Structure 1
Amino acid sequence: MPAGFRYSAMVSSGQEPFKLVFYSDDQFVAITQSKAPADRPLPAGKEVLVKGQKGVLVTGLKGTFEDGFRFRMPKEVLVRPKGTPPTEPIRIRGERVSIPYDDGKRLTWCVGDVKVEMLANLSVDEMLKIAESMQ
């Protein structure tokens, strides 16, 4: 994953997809894994290879990526080696991650009976590098 990315995960069970999300201030990667029906072909797009498996790349996607939360830590939360701890609880506020993009790409491939989809606004080379690194 590129340096400076934060991580958030959505784990589900049963038939629901498993999702991993990584993001920085202006870039994101969302990887979704789901059961692939045997008779369902890959979507239309440019053919690519991922670990020797046929995959499809779609480029030129536009939208807004909204997923995960950014948390801002108040100064009072910082751990100090000396001093008195706060006497009142401190609220940590989060804000929804929202990253507009006009250079999005979707990479789709199958590993056995699992369909993997990666949506990102990274370069194609970076996306393929991430895909190749997955087990």
Structure 2
Amino acid sequence: MAATVQITFDAGDPAALARFWAEVLGYELEPPPPGFASWDEALTAWGVPEERRDERSALRDPDGAGPRLFFQRVPEGKTAKNRVHLDVRTASGMRGEERMAVLEERCAQLVALGARRVRRFEPDNLDGGHIVMQDPEGNEFCLD
């Protein structure tokens, strides 16, 4: 039996980080469960106090192909490099300067959304070139 995958992010501000990744990936906020017009309505029905309603957020791929992303509030900040990261496939199939131009354009867009550029890796015989970045909370990812 095949398993499904959910990618979970620990976050200081789950809603803000979810909005960032929704923009990056073209994902959408997960809608409230059936029978509820909004998440506030669902959380009220479930007895979740208002002060705990911003502890989690979730995104889904509108095409249903990609994994669900889940964001959960944690008290501590990020302290070390990620052992796993996302490769955001922005220039698949492209090579050379054309590829790097597309990556640079997307990098500038993501910096405007709150990401930070870390390092550019030039194309070589093994790698078409990529840019290492960090999301607004410091999680590393690559534009590939």
Please confirm whether the aligned pair reaches a TM-score higher than 0.5, indicating the same fold.
Answer: no
Scaled by the length of structure 2, the TM-score of the pair is: 0.22
State the structure with more CA Rg.
Answer: 1
Higher helix proportion (structure 1 or 2): 2
